[in-house]
Amino acid sequence: MKPRILLVALLFASLIPTTASAAARVQVLTGSTPDMRIMPSNSFTVADSSQLTGIRINLPVPVCDATNSSMCDDLTLLNLQDGFDLRPRVTVPFTGPIDVSTVTAADLYVTGPGGFSTPITQLVWDPKTNVLAGTPSDFLRESTNYSVVVTSGIKDTSGRSVIACTSVCSSTFTTETATPELAKMRASLDSGDAYARAGITDRGATFLQGGVRDVFPAATVTEIERGDQVYADPTKPLAFSLVPNSAVTGVGYYAFGSFLVPRYQTYADAVIPHVPTTQTPSPIGAQRVGFTLIVPAGTAPSGGWPVAIFGPGFTRSKYDLFLAADLNAAKGIATMATDPAGHSYGPASVAVVHQGALAATFSGFGQGADLDADGDITASEGVGPTDHKTVDANGNVIADAPSRFATVGLRDGLIQTTVNVMTMVRMVEHGVDVLGDGTVTLQKHVLAYYGQSFGAIYGTMVMATDTHLSVGVLNVGGGPIVEIARLSGFRNLLADQLRVSRPTLLNGGPGLNGFTESMPLRLDPTVTNPYPGATTIQKYFDHANWQERAGDPVAFAPLIRLRPPAGAPAKHVIWQSAFGDHTVPNPTAGELYRAGHVLDLVSYYRNDKTPTAGSDPHGFLLDPRLFGRDQGQAQVLAYISSGGATVIDPDGPGPIWEVPIVNARNLDCTHYSQPQSGIAYTASAGEC
């Protein structure tokens, strides 16, 4: 070829678009910002000797103003943590598109001490940013070094291996501590320091208000009523309702008492002031909380009646005791309950016990407060931080600002509730004289704890932490809280939080309540086209889970069997879950059970095989309208009365109870359309 012709040919070739085979290979990014490198990474930590891990998170915080204040608040709180999340959102940025079908457990995983390895699952590929995200299949240990590993086995859309550093990219990170804070609080109770700092000198129970003992022979009680302070203005009328009571067989007395607890949460925001993890939080003072007590009829055994503690659910109260203890008194077991922190409406709430024409009215010890300043006090307003509203003279909301502590969520309310229950345990050990004359007393030891829903959530924390308890039954619990909310009827609460966030995170789409998160469950396929704005919501939820671990039952579950605290007695704990639970969905229960390796201790109530299959089965332990109530309570009683030795199958060879659960995959799906699909809940069906 002549030189001139060759030159023309080369010039012409240079104008032809580059083919895929000649394009630059896709690489794993290894930049210097969180968005441009594999995360999590210890590159974004600093040394801090005041933390148990020796480090503290140090994520970059942008210039902050009114438009992005929530983002700044979130990062500021994260930068107080002493490590990364225990099931972190792993992100891997690439320079271009990849073939997601080539991502296998051998190419994207987390490694740790002792040969530990777990794949990254529940994958989301964002084609707009070329970022692959997912979570470790296994729950990680606290205060432990791990590495995210990405290999060149992943291929791009042309079938070529991606460039992963020199064949393997690795990002080392250290997990946070979550459970030591509550353990320190428990130790502070046992040493007496918590009481001293709170100014508590009387650790016992009292049944006296205004010189009158609020203890009533059960045979004389015709009705129990509650008057709830639902308005911040104490001059407005209370909202009265009857307390359902099915605990009548074998009952001698209904009693209403109170005791003092160390209060750790602030009253303005319902958060516990942060301290480094080598330190113990100090109470801000003392708070008097109420309790209900059902005492058996007859003569108490030597040493007093055995006593069990019941833990009520979210938005519920100590009055649920009267639905939760139908069988206990006849078995000779006294049962008591206190409210979850921040629950039971305002402090002006009352209880009214009717004895025919006579009525006794006394404080209900409501713990709620109008935290959002809208003039109302709801059933759980006080358990955690809320938005802050401005209302006009007519009560209309004219402005709504997010809380600085929004992503703290229910963490501190769960910690405070656990402290309250542990204080109740020690109150019982101090001695409880119901009538004040020594004739009706309780044993100075708590036989067992059992809790329903929220009561099983903080109940997991109680059973994992308290060395004074050994027997427990935990009914329809799960975690983390954000996952419970997004998959359940509490999704509207998350929507409110996303709406008021700065910037707002509501992204519309098909999802219920105005947002679509595009988050797969364990058995779902990889998401390859997340809805616009979904990955920002995913990051927000990840940060909330990260911050809430100190009040997350999933973080505490491993302490019950896998890694019990030093000096703790052997724990005897079983769990109950319901097929298709719409309030604490099955995948959140499965998350807890897998973290604790307790699937063999789970009894599974097959609501889909009962006459009430069309109902949400969440309340089956308490709700007389649901088929499994008597069976569930029978299993609870058999277990706690035997000291954790007897686990019955409530329907024997029948199909309604699996003891233990047969198909653990049923805990990997909701059994109803996920709310992010936009389909409202109707009923539950189908095996996973």
Are 255 and 330 in contact by the 8 Å Cβ rule? The answer is no
> What 3-state DSSP class applies to 181?
helix
Find the helix or strand (DSSP H, E) in which 125 lies. Answer: strand 117-126
Residues 111, 150: contact at Cβ < 8 Å? no
Sketch the domain layout of the chain as residue ranges. 26-174, 180-388+413-433, 481-677
Which pLDDT value is given to residue 5?
Answer: 41
Q: What is the mean pLDDT of residues 517-532?
A: 98
Structure tokens at 263: 């209060």
What stretch of H or E contains 415? helix 411-430
Percentage of the chain exceeding pLDDT 90: 95
Query: pLDDT tens, 272-282?
Result: 999 999 999 99
Helix (H, G, I), strand (E, B) or coil at 413: helix
Please, is 247 exposed, middle or buried when counting C-beta atoms within 10 Å of its C-beta (0-12, 13-18, 19+)? buried
Instruction: Inform me whether the pLDDT recorded for 42 exceeds 80.
Output: yes
Q: Where are the alpha helices (DSSP H) in 476-585?
A: 481-487, 491-500, 534-548, 553-556, 558-561
Domain 26-174, CATH among 2.30.30.60, 2.30.42.10, 3.40.640.10, 2.60.40.1220: 2.60.40.1220
| Peptide linkage before 480 cis (omega within 30 of 0) | yes
Length reported for the chain? 688
Q: Which residues is 604 bridged to in the sheet?
A: 577, 658
Q: How far apart are CA 516 and CA 507, in angstroms?
A: 7
- Say if residue 80's pLDDT is above 90: yes
- With CA atoms as reference, report the closest residue to 462 among 559, 594, 603: 559
Run of H or E residues at 448: strand 442-452
Mean pLDDT of 219-237: 97
Residue 612, CB half-sphere, CA atoms under 13 Å: how many?
17
What pLDDT is recorded for position 22? 54
* pLDDT score for 10: 37
Q: Is 660 exposed, middle or buried (0-12, 13-18, 19+ CB in 10 A)?
A: middle
Identify whether the C-beta of residue 146 lies closer than 8 Å to the C-beta of residue 112: yes
Question: CA-to-CA distance for 655 and 101, rounded, in angstroms?
Answer: 39
pLDDT in tens, 10-41: 334 444 444 444 579 999 999 999 999 999 99
Stretch 584-600: mean pLDDT: 98
CA 160 to CA 93: how far, in whole Å? 17
346-375 pLDDT, tens digit each: 999 999 999 999 999 999 999 999 999 999
**What 3-state class would DSSP assign to 480?**
coil
Q: What average pLDDT does the structure give for the chain?
A: 96
Return d(Cα 521, Cα 27) in angstroms, integer: 28
Q: Which of 5-14, 562-571, 644-653 has the lowest mean pLDDT?
A: 5-14
